[in-house]
Amino acid sequence: MKEVQQNHTQIVKLKNLSSKELENNRYLFNKNSVVTLKRIVSKKLIDETLNFLEKNEKIIIKNYIGDKRGLVIENIKNKQFIKYFEYPLAINSALFGRFITADLLNKCKELLEDEVYLRSVEIHCRNPGGTSIPMHQDNSYYGLSNGKACTIFIPLNEKNDSLGDLTYIKNKIGNEYSHDSSNESAFSLEINQKYRDILKRQKKIYKINLSDGFVHHSHSVHYADSVPSNSIRTWAVRITLFGLNEHVKAGHQDWYNEIVKKNRKNARL
């Protein structure tokens, strides 16, 4: 009898704690469009993933070089490096599938306040001497009516807040900026020049540890500078979830196709 009561008390306590944490995360998510999640992957999984990617990079490039959408590479000093790769699940689901836990999906569901589904899993790389990523909001690409979508960005290296790494700007969910076409490699859209300089001042640096990750909303404003050539290479696993009840705005696809035409040789369709 005594034991049962103790257990009961413990469960209530835990529940209170997690709902407080959740409330705080929801508040920060709505305010900044991004939060950090602690210990969402194990160091063992990170190690295995880095090993796999380093061992298999050449094979991935060889097999997917013709697929302009699925693979974006950078040529640096006559060598080819992956910048984005969209099919990690197709080549090793036993490894990359382990990033998509029920716990992670639940946390994102709570943050978005909607049922979610898996939209994509990608590999991203910041290569020494590599190109920048223009300041953008992901929903300018997705064109979702309510923007209910989020991305879990999981750095695979300890160093992930140096010049050239992904940088977040504080922005409230619901606040969308208009975008112009951009010529950056694989990025066809960027926020209007007139807002960019002001926004850069709202830059927020998050200190995260290896095994933590970011969750950013599709209204999050972010960018990355070009990577200095003396940096270390950094890898990330990027998972995108969409709200189950979302739909693409009328006219978005036609508008986007026009933008892509302007940037045909760089863009991923």
Q: Which residues are CB-contacts of 77 (< 8 A; sequence separation ≥ 6)?
A: 129
114 touching Fe ion, by CB under 5 A: no
Alpha-carbon distances, residue 55 vs 49, 67, 89, 236 (angstroms): 10, 21, 16, 16
Q: For residues 125 and 82, is the Cβ–Cβ distance under 8 A?
A: yes
**Residues 6 or more apart whose Cβ sits within 8 Å of residue 74:** 80, 81, 83, 127, 130, 131, 185
Instruction: Please give the structure tokens belonging to residue 41.
Output: 């992957």
Q: Which residue among 74, 138, 184, 246 contacts Fe ion (CB under 5 A)?
A: 138
User: Which residues make up the interface to ligand AKG (CB under 6 A)?
Assistant: 124, 126, 133, 138, 151, 153, 166, 222, 224, 238
Nearer to Fe ion, 138 or 184 (CB): 138
Q: Which is nearer to ligand AKG, 2 or 139 (CB)?
A: 139
Q: Is 127 helix (H, G, I), strand (E, B) or coil?
A: coil
Q: Find the shortest distance in angstroms from Cβ 214 to Fe ion.
A: 11
82 interacts with, out of Fe ion, ligand AKG, none, CB within 5 to 8 A per kind: none
Minimal distance, residue 125 CB to ligand AKG, in Å: 7
Q: Which lies closer to ligand AKG via its Cβ, residue 211 or residue 220?
A: 220
Q: Which is nearer to ligand AKG, 182 or 254 (CB)?
A: 182
* Alpha helices in 69-192, H assignment, sequence order: 88-91, 93-96, 102-112, 139-142
Q: What, of ligand AKG, Fe ion, none, does residue 242 touch, CB below 5 to 8 Å by kind? A: none
Pick the closer one to ligand AKG by CB: 94 or 140: 140
The one of ligand AKG, Fe ion, none whose footprint includes residue 123, by CB under 5 to 8 A per kind, is none
Place of tokens 């602690």: 38
CB of 173 to ligand AKG, least distance (A): 15
| Per-residue CA distances from 95 to 91, 206, 227, 236 (Å) | 9, 27, 28, 14
Smallest distance, Å, CB 15 to ligand AKG?
33
